[in-house]
Structure 1
């Protein structure tokens, strides 16, 4: 039976054909109900809001539709689909109560928008208040779509790749036009059940930002590994497309000639700002070894660190600030403080301009060990990697100028690092102009034939790329100083990198071996110690080997072939799973180490815990 009904519903005009007077009209299967907005609202629909039901044309289809004119209730049953813009709502049954301005969907309720999906058993929605709740909710979140805007967000999504989906479950989700809030939520980055890793939180919120993105916040809860090991998380977690510090950092740093040794460092990281373009992380530090061995009291065993980041998407720029106080001993405040502020601008060609000021910046200078730069003020431009036609060659370059205040030997040139350290040094202030460039190419020597059925990843997030590659390169670094001195280094390198094994079997199914030899021409020497190149000919050896299951061991060492000394060595013990991993690293040369937690697909980035920069032996190293 066909019929016509005209009724106003809030901002909506509702029309349905009705040709016979009756208390109840039954519509034939497949009929569509269209609601056209009289005036569009300001809301938008994504998984986080579920609520722009007043923003676009709405179409309702089902196997059977009925309308009770007396109660003013519209009901749809069987394969119910309600489309609204890019979103789609499915359910077994739906009831629209026109008088109460309310919709109720039951049975296999699902809501989809692009990569965002949310499901539940029962949905209630108030059209007038634009709010409701979903019971027994579960679905998935695309981390790439969180906390970004415009072209910058799209670039970030492309760089992150497809593996950024996070599944979730909640007892109930309450939502309005701009926010949703879930109770007893479980988040996991594992596409399989039972999940290897879960983040359990009593409360998770998602807020719609001004730029149209969403921000996901999980209150303090637990990390659950393989459903048997529970790790408390006493801090709030924030999820978006940007890499952030993990909840807790544990590392070891005991190699300082000028600064006090800290030993073991325990550092929880608290994020204080919730704006998608602003990040302020406050990190108290505890030095347990100082607490039992210091004559300066308990404050010598406590430190503070603050990291601030301000993203400016319209200007394609970012400003960051880092401040660290290594022990709260105020009479030694200047010596214990470290700080750095940077402003980075991405240019139209993909390069990067960086303005920097750093106070007591630490560099690892190979055979000269750690060196402290008291003050550095500079600007640099780093080019993008440029592919030279069809040659397979990748070219990049860097220009930098800095005003530097650091230890040096202004009256003589000493190329022997042992003599340089033994002789008296003093602080000097000079301007440095630096130009560096690299040219690289990689050749595939062997790639295993592809099989029809690749084994699914077991101990890694993505399938292992196996093969043997020959890597070649040429690099050059030219430095000019305002006192007339110069340092020039041009080198070539050749190396073999081999990856054998898919890392899916229980034993010895992954081997990574690498050997790189480099040699070059060195002329002159820097008047500073921190950027003096002391290793002209070197060999880098590395390996990483699976022992059993997710357990892998490895090491990498750099040897100065002229003196026969080890310049740098790092040992690694790793426990790697599909969704998470633990890594224990120790460097006896630098007397530093770290325990790192990797969570695949989320945005925790352990970064470098050694906190020092390398000697600028190549054109692209930091100044």
Structure 2
């Protein structure tokens, strides 16, 4: 039951902040060392850029190289590194050592010297000769950047950039490179570095790393050249913030501890501890691990993440899915906008229309079940999740739309796969799915595939309806979807006419029906809708049992819509005259959007169209000579029907304005107050609505009909719908008067009702149960009428996350059962399913799960 007034849309609470590189950036070329090589950490107080052109003269004049004999006792045998023997066009000259080069050396310290990155054999730790073939030519530079923090932490950035201007080494030259050691200061004054390196001559002291168990990350005795990796663009930067960072040179693994945050290609990875394998670019996060890509949030005890391939595995996972943007957020080039902002405290921002299933109103033309609306944000828990780009697979899954815990409504499945199908379209496949209500009642689902978007779809479950006029009473149905490329959807809905089957037998084709519905969007501004309805499969009386329609809509200038429409046996409800059939109609209609008239609060909408119509003639004018001339007679003077063929030209315009008289204060968005029985807090109000509409119709026989309608009404609602008894009353009362000029030759658009009174009342009975009645009373009519009133009764079971409603109309002899899943939007961390209401806090800008 929609509320007449909802609170205004809240302002945006999440803004985008680009992730820029740290200003302190040091470039160390690896053009002449293996791709899996890296350098020890650098304690930076200023910024230096060291290109490969400077590495050879720096090494030639480096004090440690000239003092190799002094360090011989501590360093052991020198390491012989064979360089490529490619003959350069111009021999490289060693630059003399100057004051500038010495200052750079002093600033860089011993850690600025590149080292051979490989694991030596235990028998000869530092006396192996590496052939020149172990040094592949590279076209990228590896950046390491650190900046000192007040707390002693640091920021590391790793990136790659193309550079093909490096000077080649001298043919056959060899370098004697000592192992990396701390700054050459006295032992009683040790040098502190941001990244602590495990010396290569102490392999036994190397700590264990979780990356040892990740395939492809354990080092061999002499690591082979790594598998080719796609070059990383210059803007692809690994940014790492942590309280403490260390580097294991043997395993080529960075370790970060305490308030860790890693950013790469739009992804943000937070954890208590993080390991990053530089050659394979694999990260392993442990302890309160959270991976965020745009609006997608994945949390777990442990996350293994391939930074380049955007693949990973999460253990004991939970998180959030924002379905409208999942395809963009998980793209390889997804921006990191807003990723570095602190997570705000948990708060439900707004309840949204959600997803509705079933027969929406008792006078639906098709009488078929349908799914309308969409879900945008879901949260989930799973034993583990494996994600490969935009596709997610999870085991032992719980999914809910409820932002609070424990959830009112859950989808549970042994195996779930989430696949984006395009912008705003997401497919969810679940093995043996079931709905669980309030942690108790479980309802198995008959469909394992659900596509969530804003298209009308079948609800998956079978639906129950009632249509005495066309289907003989009670019927059940179930739809099946068939995707047509990426633009179309075909839905076939078989129907079992239960009441007719008991009367005539289920072996009769007359006891079954079928509905076929096609929806397609060939372009972003074009929509195609087609329906074929068989109220019986006995085609002997096809003309009276088949209904169909085709509509092609195209967005044109100024948000207007141009529609090409064709219908066969369209059924319309015309007030006190009841249902009227239009045998066929073909035409064009232009419809405007709602146009606000300045700041007056008045809204204008209008439309114009032309149609070729075959329909029953005005029943009150069957003896009129002008109508008799239009009827089709047989040779014997009789006629089979009262249908006539004419063209109709029509224009209409409407103005309306709502005047708020009083408005109350909604309750907070908490599960025990404002969101106890509804997805949005009830806002008590009282308001006045005034409207006017004018319609002018001209027919090809020269006749015209003009109708001016004025209406005034009052509506309101009282109570908060949060207490268990009589805490909600909604009502509406409206009066309209029709001034009619001229006469129409048709019966379906004849205005028979002059004065009409409409009223509605919805009352909470107890807890989530509400009873509603909506009635239209025809106070004055021009001729005899078929109905004095049109009334619909509704019983609703309303909860925060879902609602179930049953409605019936005696005059229309039809009823419906509807099921709605509500949608929510929130910020912050709702917490796990099993504890409390969920919470989130901030600690130094880090996301902390509300456990």
Q: Normalised by the shorter chain, which TM-score bucket?
A: 0.7 to 0.9
1:198 & 1:520 partners in 2: Cα distance?
A: 50
2:294 & 2:566 partners in 1: Cα distance?
A: 43
The Cα of 1:450 is off from its aligned counterpart by: 7.1
1:234 pairs with one of 446, 451, 455: 446
Partner of 1:60: 240
SS at match of 2:510: helix
Partner of 1:448: 664
Partner of 1:272: 482
The answer to whether the aligner puts 1:297 opposite 2:507 as a matched pair is yes
- Farther-moved stretch of structure 1 (120-129 vs 231-240): 120-129
Which whole-Å deviations, capped at 9, do the CAs of 1:346-386 have from their partners, x for residues lacking one?
Answer: 23422222111112211112222222222111111111111
Partner of 1:250: 463
SS at match of 2:754: coil
Partner of 1:514: 732
Which whole-Å deviations, capped at 9, do the CAs of 1:59-89 have from their partners, x for residues lacking one?
Answer: 1121222222222222222211111244311
2:351 & 2:34 partners in 1: Cα distance?
A: 43
2:269 & 2:303 partners in 1: Cα distance?
A: 10
Q: Is the 8 A contact 1:444 1:469 kept in 2?
A: yes
Partner of 2:778: 560
The aligned runs of 1:189-200 (5 Å cut-off) are 189-200=401-412
- Farther-moved stretch of structure 1 (594-603 vs 52-61): 52-61
Which whole-Å deviations, capped at 9, do the CAs of 1:566-616 have from their partners, x for residues lacking one?
Answer: 33110011110111001110000000110100110189xxxxxxxxxxxxx
1:540 pairs with one of 758, 764, 768: 758
Partner of 1:400: 609
The structure having more radius of gyration, on CA atoms, is 2
2:715 & 2:34 partners in 1: Cα distance?
A: 66
The Cα of 1:456 is off from its aligned counterpart by: 2.7
The aligned runs of 1:50-199 (5 Å cut-off) are 56-98=236-278, 101-126=281-306, 130-145=310-325, 164-199=376-411
Q: Is the 8 A contact 2:668 2:681 kept in 1?
A: no
1:522 & 1:501 partners in 2: Cα distance?
A: 41
TM norm structure 2 = 0.61
2:506 & 2:477 partners in 1: Cα distance?
A: 21
Change (3 A) 1:76 1:292: same
SS at match of 1:537: strand
Partner of 2:570: 361
SS at match of 2:320: strand
SS at match of 2:275: strand
SS at match of 1:497: strand
Change (3 A) 1:452 1:432: closer
Unaligned 5+ runs, structure 1: 40-51, 150-157, 416-422, 604-623
1:245 & 1:598 partners in 2: Cα distance?
A: 13
Q: Is the 8 A contact 1:3 1:17 kept in 2?
A: no
Q: Is the 8 A contact 2:526 2:555 kept in 1?
A: yes
SS at match of 2:780: coil
1:344 & 1:435 partners in 2: Cα distance?
A: 18
Partner of 2:6: none
1:217 pairs with one of 428, 438, 441: 428
2:542 pairs with one of 329, 333, 346: 333
Change (3 A) 1:76 1:5: farther
Partner of 2:653: 437
Which whole-Å deviations, capped at 9, do the CAs of 1:434-465 have from their partners, x for residues lacking one?
Answer: 11111111111222367899943211101112
Q: Is the 8 A contact 1:77 1:94 kept in 2?
A: yes
Which whole-Å deviations, capped at 9, do the CAs of 1:507-530 have from their partners, x for residues lacking one?
Answer: 111111111001121123322222
Partner of 2:419: 207
1:453 & 1:299 partners in 2: Cα distance?
A: 53
- Farther-moved stretch of structure 1 (519-528 vs 593-602): 519-528
RMSD: 3.6
SS at match of 1:479: strand
Q: Is the 8 A contact 1:7 1:15 kept in 2?
A: no
Change (3 A) 1:239 1:507: same
Q: Is the 8 A contact 1:204 1:216 kept in 2?
A: no
SS at match of 1:144: helix
Change (3 A) 1:352 1:146: farther
The Cα of 1:502 is off from its aligned counterpart by: 1.0
Larger strand percent: 1
Q: Is the 8 A contact 2:679 2:824 kept in 1?
A: no
Change (3 A) 1:273 1:15: farther
TM norm structure 1 = 0.82
2:796 & 2:750 partners in 1: Cα distance?
A: 34
Change (3 A) 1:247 1:7: farther
Q: Is the 8 A contact 1:59 1:82 kept in 2?
A: yes
